[in-house]
Amino acid sequence: METKIYTLDQIDEAAAALKKGQLVAFPTETVYGLGADATNVEAVSHVYEAKGRPSDNPLIVTIADVATLEKFAQPLSDQVKLLIKTFWPGSLTIILPLKKDALSKTVTGGLDTAAFRMPANAATLSLIRTAGVPIVGPSANTSGKPSPTLAEHVYHDLKGKIAGILDDGPTDVGVESTIIDMSTDVPTILRPGAVTEDQLADVLGTVQGNKHKVGANETPKAPGMKYKHYAPDAQVEIVDHPSDFKAAVDWAGQQATKVGLMATDDILAKLDVPANVETYSLGADVAAASHLLFAGLRHFDLETEVATIFTQGFSNDGLGAAYMNRLNKSAGGVHFTNNKSVDK
């Protein structure tokens, strides 16, 4: 299959492909998603095949208006309506109980709930409206690899497996949306993102903020809770404190292989970097680092041959919670401390 790169003036053509049951990757403000008609079971099954995604890992349903949401979800509570008013379009995914048989179990991972999102990207909202159907929207990458923040990332992973990619340049946020479960008695964050726990608490009052994993025999209610995610071929190691970077660089300089180093500009400026260490700037702060994290991991995956990637950690609050959630999964919990790698 030839994978076409659609420009923004070819949205009609991309929408036609979706209506035919084909797969089209699309841009959002967070990462690129992999679209298929959410009401077409065969098309949705091809999403799992293209990504190599486990069948019990539910898919997000991406919509362009609240009327579509109301066709599938049970009547919306006042709290849900307030979330929609406050954060949509935007980087918040909301899990809701479904009307009976409203969506295929292929979409929901066998559950009676589904995750819904309205992204803040004009091109994708136009794509959905033109197609006339909601679309599933998992990240448009090979399952387990860093999420794509450029159309080129999607093409690398999925060329020949999907019909096309709607290219709208680099994404703005760089980490996937926050997921909040509104099907439970207490609203629960299942995945942190750009919409923070404090922002949600300001709207909802009480929020449960730490349900990010499930057991081996549980069915996850949201993506990213069970399976390995965001991992490049090289081993990522988290450097928690700026004071540890000198030791990490000293260790790297003793290696026979190349080593990658991802950190903010202020840290990179203070380091005497050996010849075998390649650096990648994470910008000035955690917001920039969140935007650049996946792009940096893919840089080392696609363009260099490194065995280890030392990556800066941040405080686990605010946007840092989303950044560290992705980085910890990418590293498999491996941290560099006192000249050695340790699991935490």
Residues with Cβ < 8 Å from 145, sequence gap 6 or more?
Answer: 157, 230, 231, 232, 301
Q: Residue range 249-253: average pLDDT?
A: 94
Residues 32 and 172 in one domain: yes
For residue 315, what is the domain's CATH number? Answer: 3.40.50.11030
Residues 241 and 195 in one domain: no
Residue 152 or residue 230, greater confidence: 152
Asked if 276 and 325 count as a contact pair (C-beta separation under 8 A), the reply is: no
Q: What is the mean pLDDT of the chain?
A: 92
C-alpha distance from residue 333 to each of 230, 231, 324 (Å): 12, 11, 10
Does residue 130 sit in helix, strand or coil? helix
Residue 93: which pLDDT band, with cuts at 50, 70 and 90? very high
- Helix and strand numbers, DSSP H then E, in the chain: 12, 16
Q: At what angle do helices 197-204 and 78-87 cross, to 10 degrees?
A: 130
147 is in an annotated binding site: yes
> Is 118 inside a domain boundary?
yes
53 is in an annotated binding site: yes
- Report d(CA 229, CA 148) in Å as an integer: 12
Residues 21 and 89 in one domain: yes
- Report d(CA 320, CA 56) in Å as an integer: 28
| pLDDT score of 304 | 79
57 is in an annotated binding site: yes
Angle CA(171)–CA(172)–CA(173) in degrees, nearest 5?
Answer: 105
> Is 219 inside a domain boundary?
no
* Domain membership of residue 38 as a residue range: 4-204
Of 247, 230, 208, which Cα lies nearest the Cα of 290? 230
Asked if 342 and 335 count as a contact pair (C-beta separation under 8 A), the reply is: yes
Which stretches does DSSP call E strand in the chain?
A: 4-6, 24-26, 33-37, 60-62, 92-97, 113-117, 135-136, 164-166, 178-181, 188-191, 235-239, 258-263, 277-281, 306-312, 334-337, 340-343
- At residue 252, φ and ψ (nearest 5 deg) are -60, -40
Residues 157 and 280 in one domain: no
Alpha carbon dihedral 118, 122, 126, 129, in 10-degree steps, equals: 20
> Is 213 inside a domain boundary?
no
Tally the C-alpha atoms within 13 A of residue 3's C-alpha that lie toward its C-beta. 19
Domains held by the chain: number: 2
Which DSSP helix (H) or strand (E) runs through 237?
strand 235-239
77 is in an annotated binding site: no
Residues 281 and 165 in one domain: no
Residues 182 and 297 in one domain: no
| pLDDT score of 212 | 54
Q: pTM value?
A: 0.91
Of 2, 3, 24, 1, which Cα lies nearest the Cα of 12? 24
Residues 170 and 82 in one domain: yes
- Report d(CA 261, CA 225) in Å as an integer: 27
227 is in an annotated binding site: no
pLDDT at 326 over 80: yes
| pLDDT score of 144 | 85
Residues 175 and 251 in one domain: no
Does residue 325 sit in helix, strand or coil? helix
Residue 175: which pLDDT band, with cuts at 50, 70 and 90? very high
pLDDT at 99 over 90: yes
Residues 15 and 116 in one domain: yes
- Report d(CA 290, CA 297) in Å as an integer: 12
Which amino acid would we find at residue 99?
K
Residues 194 and 269 in one domain: no
pLDDT digits (tens, 9 = 90+) for 189-248: 999 999 999 999 999 999 998 655 555 555 666 665 545 567 888 999 999 999 999 999
129 is in an annotated binding site: no
Among 57-61, 179-183, 291-295, name the one with the lowest average pLDDT.
Answer: 57-61
